[in-house]
Structure formats: C-alpha cells, structure tokens
C-alpha cells in the first residue's frame, strides 16, 4: 500500500512538471534569478535584433556570445569569426541592413523571419529576403541555434561562397594625335644578344642607344654583366619600332627575338608623366577589395590619376558552390565594363625627340660635364593653351619593371633603380628644386617696368664690378669681368648684366622691399602650378614675409639675380616663359586632352585654365625683344650657339630665350645650366625650358639642347652638337 502511494506521488510530480513546461515555466525561468518570469517571444526578437546589430558593426565577439552553447561547442569563436570575415571578403561587403518582420514560437524554439540587404562595393546592393533565424531557450535566455546557413541559407557544410571576378581590358593611353603610348594588349618584342656574335660592336651599341634611348655608359655596364657567350635580354620594343629598325638590329647586332603580350609602354617615353601599373600594396588592400589580390593598379602618373577610368568596372558573379563545384545559388552578377582610353597632350614624336636629344647630349659630353651631371629636365608647352607637348626627366626608368610578368631581372633592377644616386624616379620638371639664376631676371625686368621704378631707357654703367658700399652693401663682381659698358634695360637682360640688376634691386628695395617676391609669385615661381594630376614641389621665393630675420638690401640683391634661397621647378620657369610669350597668360599645365570609351564619346574633356598677369603690353613686348636679342645680338649670351644656326638653316624662325648658370655648391661643384625660350619671335607657338644639373654654363649646355628640340619640332636639319663638350666648358658665366 505504501509502495503504491509513493508511485502515485512521483507521477503527480511528473505531471506537475509537464504542466509547468507547457505553460512556459522553464528551468531557465525557475533557476535564473534575473528572469523571474517565462521567456517571451519579445525577448527572442530582442536577442535576434542584438545579433543582427552586432553583425552590422562586425562585432563578431558579441555575435558569438549570442549563439547557443551547443553551437559554441560545434564552432570555435575563431571559426565563427573566420566564416563571417571570409563571407565579407567574397561579397566585398561595405555594410548591411536588416529588418525583422515576423516572429513565431514553437515550444522552446523561436522562429524569426527577417530580411538582409548586403551593400557590396563591387556588386552593389544584394537583397536576401525571407531569411529564418532559429533561437532556443537556454539558462542564459534566448540564444541563436547557429550554423553556416545563418550567413546564407544555401551555405551548408562543405559549400563555399565565391566571388568569381572578370577583369576587363584596361584602357590605353594615347598621345594627342592618337598614337599609342600604352597598349593594354600590346606585343613586346624582346631583344636578345650574344656579345661574341655581334658583327659590329660599336655600330650595335650606337643603334641600341638610339632605339632604346639609353646612355652608352648604361648599355656598356649592362653588357659587362655577361660573359661573351651568354645570351641576355637587352630590352623590349613594340612591333612597329622593331619593323622599322629590324635591318639595323640584324646587321649590326645580330639580335635574336621573342615576343609576349603585356601592357606595353612605348619604350621609356614620358615615364614620369605616364607612370606604371604594379600590384596592390598591402596597405591599400581595403581600398581595392573589389579587385583580385593579384590585380595591377596604377601606382604613379596618369596610370594612377586615372585609375578608375582606365581600369573600367570589374565584372563578376557571387555564387554559392557545392563541394562538387556546381552552383547552388547565384546571389548577384555584374558584367565587366572595359576601361576608358586617356588621350594626353603629349606629342609622341616630339617626346621621343626630346628624350633622344638628352641621351645624345650625355653620350657626347663624356670628356666634360656628363660625368658630374646627375640629371636633366626638359619641358615643351603650347603658349596658347598651356598644353604640355613634351616633358622629360632624365634619367628615366623602365615602367615594365614594376609589372610582375616582366621577363627582366626585376629584383636586382628595382633595387638598383631605388638606390641610384641619380634619382631616376624623381620627376624633375615638377619635383626638382633649383636656384633660378639669371632666368629669374625676366621677373626682375617685369617688376622694374610694371612698377614704374625703371623704364626702358634707364641707363646703368655695366662694369665688371658693382660698388655697393654707398648703399651699405659690398663690392660685387659680374660674371663678365670686362663688363658691357653703358646699357639700357633691354640690353641688361640680353647681356645678363648683373650690375644693372643690382642697381635695379637697390631702387626696388627702396620702393618696396617685397616687390621682387611679389612679382615672382605672380609669375608662377614658388607657388603651385595649378595642375593636380601629378605630385609637385612648390619651392620657395624668399621675401620679407618669410625671412628668418630682417629683410636686408643684401637679400634683395641676391634675389634680383635669382640667387640666395630661391628654389623653383623647371615647370614653373616654362609657365613664366609662356606667360611672357602670350601677353600675360599664366597657364595651368595641361597633360590630358580627353577621356573616352570604346564608343568614342568623351566622358571628360579638359579646358584651358589661366590667370592674366595684367601687366602693360609694353612690359611683355620689351621682355620678348630682349630675349630675342639673346640669340640675335652679337653680345647676346646665347648668340654663339645660334649664330651658325641662323646662317645655315635658311629659316626665318627667331629663337627668343634667356640663359642661366646657377651655382649649386662650392667652387668645386659644377653649376646647373638653364635655358628657357619661346619660338617663333612673331606669334609665339611654344615655350621650351631645359635644365641640366651640375654641368656648365647655360649657354653652353642647355641652349644647344633647346636648339635641337626646336629643330625637331619644326622638322629642320639638325645642327652639330657643340665641339666644346669634347674639350672644355665654362662653369662661371651665362
């Protein structure tokens, strides 16, 4: 009897427990002091909302804390986090939005129905509606019964989410006339040599220097790295160049060739402007997460500035794949859109001629200045539009070195490039900073005339010395010890008479100590050029507003002849020259004409941009006339370079320019050589500036290079290079 009573009591208790369970009184609510009542459906919704909110903020630790103990036993926190981060990577996920629209209860399980929209950087919004999240009761409240299908419903065990990318063709880069500068599917002809098989070593070396636009010393150094019987790659050229030069390469060098398809650059033309493509840096992976990890992007120059336009739109499809590779679901797809083409202001033929002129100058000046000269810059600008027709920074570099598919010895060559004391990666026209020397006298003349401090007829005795003691300065010595006699303002510029400009400096300082600084900046020196595509150095023009101490007369006297702490770029000088030639239009340098797609319709067209200096017409006319006399007057500082040119070229083209010889250090350091010019005298078309580092006088080095550039621009016969390069050139003078 007692036994039956005990059994009945047990059954009664079991029934009571069952009844409690059916009414929602779980062990959780009974044992957790923080949950005095049963778990509600609203609480389940709150937990689901917290889980989704944490997903939106990528707080995977918070998400993991909200999954059930059973799920945590199956998936470690690291595996859980990796699953979400891998999914985000494949989606190129920027953000997500979610909304719960229904909740239901089935015993101890809550069913949450919700929508998610993924914002993919590559594929745009990806809607994933009518998702289901299951939550179960636990001693700590509602928790998500998690599996991989809570990321995406078809993402079962073993399945994988994969973004299959399609890279479109990258846009080409053309010159102003549509000639190819960069061909995305170009054929590179590789030139291989075996030295012992070369029938004409000297002829071969000269031909390669011309075709590849490389210094002879550079080629000799490369040849010296190989045994006579070794076969080595000397360089690459495009098919058009190979067809044109095939006879020379075969007869002189006995070259052997292979070819490959690549993003092909036109040799080393305008490399500092065009730039190059290279792998995505590790620190930029997030910025380019829509790209494959091995994709190439523009890293410098136009390739970088127009990366988005050139790259086009990467296509692809986001799919869930079964372990067998079949598609379980396609979430989104986007077709690839080819990149657009960029048309530059550069004239390919002129650019090649400018670079060849620099190579030949360095090849021929071995006995004098090239061993000490680390580099040079040359810029040709259209004075009517500001378009840059050619821009060369010497030495240049091979842009193919940055492409991993290059057959060259990239590691060694890149290391040598980066450690080269000549800094070949420096864009000298925009980033090289130099004293202006006597080309600055163009500014000083503008300041004297426009301010009214001097007029054209103001005379000064231009002796070899200038006595400055009466002004509290010192005796200063001209570059020409014998002087130039009595000169007026135009002749002072033509002869580059320092005493005249020192006297001008005294009067300008008396009128306004900041005058010269003001006019220099107005004319584009020591300020930004206005272009934003390429990095540039601004440099500095000293003056009362940025002097460390009181601005003394001595500082003005240094500045008036372009010495002291003046730091400017060749691009600033060519802008100033173009402004004088165009009656005061100070142009923003233009490098790009237009961008257009395959349909030929431009999506961007550049427009000229300029400020007007606003000086009197007489000022520009006087400066132009004085610059023309630099090459015409028998005492002009560049007359001896152009005298034979005028006598034998049978041309009416008058070159108007200004020489400059900038001291670059102590007496043992050779000066920088300047020549800036415009042509022709009547109705000027182009401005040209050449700067050659640590060489000789501006008239002796830079002026002959400008002369060659003008000859090539007008397709004239080429003059001989100066014989003095083989003998002795000056380091003090103009």
CA–CA gap between residue 43 and residue 206 (Å, rounded): 85
Is the confidence at residue 332, as pLDDT, over 80? yes
Q: Which residues, listed in sequence order, are joined to residue 602 by a DSSP beta bridge?
A: 596
Radius of gyration over every alpha carbon of the chain, rounded to an integer in angstroms: 37
Is the confidence at residue 338, as pLDDT, over 70? yes
pLDDT digits (tens, 9 = 90+) for 259-293: 999 999 998 999 999 999 999 998 998 888 888 88
CA–CA gap between residue 376 and residue 368 (Å, rounded): 16
C-alpha dihedral sign at 301, 305, 306, 307? positive
- As a whole-number percent, the residues of the chain with pLDDT over 70 amount to 95
Q: Where in the chain is the domain with CATH 3.40.710.10?
A: 428-726
The pLDDT of residue 588:
98
CA–CA gap between residue 172 and residue 184 (Å, rounded): 6
Strands 124-138 and 109-120: antiparallel
Q: Model pTM?
A: 0.85
CA–CA gap between residue 271 and residue 429 (Å, rounded): 12
User: Which H or E element spans position 64?
Assistant: helix 60-65
- Angle made by CA atoms 653, 656, 658, in degrees to the nearest 5: 150
Is the confidence at residue 590, as pLDDT, over 80? yes
The pLDDT of residue 20:
35
Mean pLDDT of 601-608: 95
Using pLDDT thresholds of 50, 70 and 90, give the confidence band for residue 649: low
In the CATH scheme, what architecture does the domain 173-343 have?
Alpha-Beta Complex (3.90)
The pLDDT of residue 129:
95
pLDDT digits (tens, 9 = 90+) for 303-314: 999 999 999 999
pLDDT digits (tens, 9 = 90+) for 125-153: 999 999 999 999 999 999 999 999 999 99
pLDDT digits (tens, 9 = 90+) for 228-255: 999 999 989 889 899 999 998 999 999 9
Decide: helix, strand or coil at residue 256.
strand
The pLDDT of residue 615:
97
The pLDDT of residue 8:
37
Burial of 20 (0-12, 13-18, 19+ CB in 10 A): middle
CATH class held by domain 428-726? alpha beta
CA–CA gap between residue 489 and residue 396 (Å, rounded): 40
Is the confidence at residue 467, as pLDDT, over 60? yes
Q: Which residues of 679-705 are buried (b: 16+ CB within 10 A; e: fewer)?
A: bbbeebebbbbbbbbbbbbbbbbbbbb
26: tokens are: 């779980």
User: DSSP for 635-692?
Assistant: T-TTHHHHHHHHHHS---PPPEEEEEEE--SSTTSPPEEEEEEEE-SSS--EEEEEEE
Q: What residue spans of 547-638 are helical by DSSP H?
A: 553-559, 570-581, 617-632
Mean pLDDT of 35-60: 91
Q: Where in the chain is the domain with CATH 3.90.1310?
A: 173-343
CA–CA gap between residue 574 and residue 562 (Å, rounded): 16
Q: Which residues of 61-80 are buried (b: 16+ CB within 10 A; e: fewer)?
A: eebbebbbeebeeebeeeeb
The pLDDT of residue 286:
84
Is the confidence at residue 2, as pLDDT, over 50? no
The pLDDT of residue 359:
95
Is the confidence at residue 97, as pLDDT, over 90? yes
Q: Where in the chain is the domain with CATH 3.10.450.100?
A: 27-153
Using pLDDT thresholds of 50, 70 and 90, give the confidence band for residue 734: confident
CATH 3.10.450.100 fits 27-153, yes or no: yes
Q: Residue 608 to residues 180, 191, 509, 625: CA-CA distances in angstroms?
A: 24, 42, 36, 27
């Amino acid at each position: 009897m007692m036994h039956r009573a005990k059994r009945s009591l047990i059954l009664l208790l079991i029934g009571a427990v069952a009844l409690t369970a059916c009414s929602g009184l779980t062990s959780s609510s009974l044992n957790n002091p923080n949950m005095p009542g049963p778990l509600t459906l609203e609480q389940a919704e709150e937990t689901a909302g917290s889980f989704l909110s944490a997903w939106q903020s990528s707080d995977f630790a918070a998400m993991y804390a909200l999954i059930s103990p059973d799920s945590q036993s199956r998936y470690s926190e690291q595996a859980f986090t990796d699953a979400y981060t891998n999914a985000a990577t494949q989606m190129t996920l920027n953000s997500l939005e979610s909304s719960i629209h229904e909740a239901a209860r089935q015993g101890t399980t809550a069913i949450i129905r919700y929508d998610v929209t993924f914002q993919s950087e590559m594929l745009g919004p990806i809607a994933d509606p009518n998702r289901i999240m299951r939550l179960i009761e636990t001693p700590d409240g509602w928790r998500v019964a998690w599996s991989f299908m809570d990321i995406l419903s078809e993402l079962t065990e073993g399945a994988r989410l994969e973004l299959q990318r399609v890279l479109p063709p990258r846009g080409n880069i053309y010159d102003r006339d549509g000639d190819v500068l960069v061909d995305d599917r170009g054929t590179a002809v590789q030139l291989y040599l075996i030295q012992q098989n070369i029938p004409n070593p000297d002829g071969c070396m000269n031909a390669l220097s011309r075709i590849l636009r490389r210094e002879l010393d550079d080629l000799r150094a490369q040849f010296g790295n190989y045994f006579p019987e070794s076969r080595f790659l000397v360089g690459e050229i495009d098919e058009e160049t190979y067809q044109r030069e095939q006879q020379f390469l075969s007869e002189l060098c006995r070259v052997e060739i292979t070819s490959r398809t690549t993003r092909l650059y036109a040799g080393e033309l305008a490399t500092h402007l065009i730039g190059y493509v290279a792998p995505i840096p590790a620190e930029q992976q997030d910025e380019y997460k829509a790209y494959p990890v091995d994709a190439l992007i523009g890293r410098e120059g136009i390739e970088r500035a127009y990366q988005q336009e050139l790259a086009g739109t990467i296509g692809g499809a986001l799919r869930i794949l079964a372990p067998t590779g079949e598609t379980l679901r396609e979430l989104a797809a986007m077709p690839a859109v080819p990149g657009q083409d960029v048309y530059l202001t550069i004239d390919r033929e002129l650019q090649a001629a400018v670079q060849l002129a620099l190579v030949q100058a360095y090849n021929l000046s071995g006995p004098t200045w090239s061993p000490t000269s680390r580099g040079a810059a040359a810029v040709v600008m259209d004075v009517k539009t500001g378009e840059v027709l050619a821009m060369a920074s010497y030495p240049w570099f091979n842009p193919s070195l940055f492409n991993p598919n290059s057959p060259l010895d990239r590691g060694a060559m890149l290391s040598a490039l980066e450690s080269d004391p000549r800094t070949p990666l420096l864009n000298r026209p925009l980033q090289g900073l130099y004293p202006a020397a006597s080309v600055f006298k163009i500014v000083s003349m503008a300041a004297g005339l426009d301010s009214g401090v001097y007029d054209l007829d103001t005379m000064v005795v231009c002796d070899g010395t200038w006595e400055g003691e009466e002004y509290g300065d010192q005796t200063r010595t001209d570059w020409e010890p014998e002087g130039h006699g009595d000169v007026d303002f135009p002749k002072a510029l033509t002869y580059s008479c320092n005493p005249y400009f020192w006297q001008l400096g005294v009067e300008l300082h008396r009128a306004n100590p900041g005058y010269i600084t003001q006019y220099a900046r107005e004319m584009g020196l020591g300020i930004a050029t206005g272009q934003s595509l390429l990095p540039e150095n601004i440099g500095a023009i000293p003056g009362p507003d940025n002097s460390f101490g009181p601005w003394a007369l001595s500082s003005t006297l240094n500045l008036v002849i372009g010495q002291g702490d003046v730091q400017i770029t060749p691009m600033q000088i060519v802008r100033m020259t173009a402004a004088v030639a165009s009656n005061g239009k100070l142009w923003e340098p233009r490098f790009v004409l237009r961008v257009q797609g395959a349909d030929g319709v431009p999506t961007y067209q550049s427009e000229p941009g300029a400020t007007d200096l606003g000086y009197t017409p007489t000022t520009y006319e006087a400066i132009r006339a004085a610059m023309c006399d630099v090459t015409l007057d028998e005492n002009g500082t560049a007359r001896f370079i152009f005298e034979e040119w005028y006598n034998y070229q049978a041309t009416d083209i008058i070159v108007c320019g200004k020489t400059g010889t900038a001291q670059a250090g102590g007496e043992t350091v050779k000066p920088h050589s300047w020549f800036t010019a415009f042509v022709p005298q009547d109705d000027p078309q182009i401005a040209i500036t050449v700067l050659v580092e640590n060489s000789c006088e501006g008239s002796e080095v830079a002026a002959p290079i400008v002369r060659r550039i003008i000859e090539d621009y007008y397709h004239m016969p080429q003059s001989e290079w100066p014989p003095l390069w083989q003998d002795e050139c000056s380091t003090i003078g103009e």
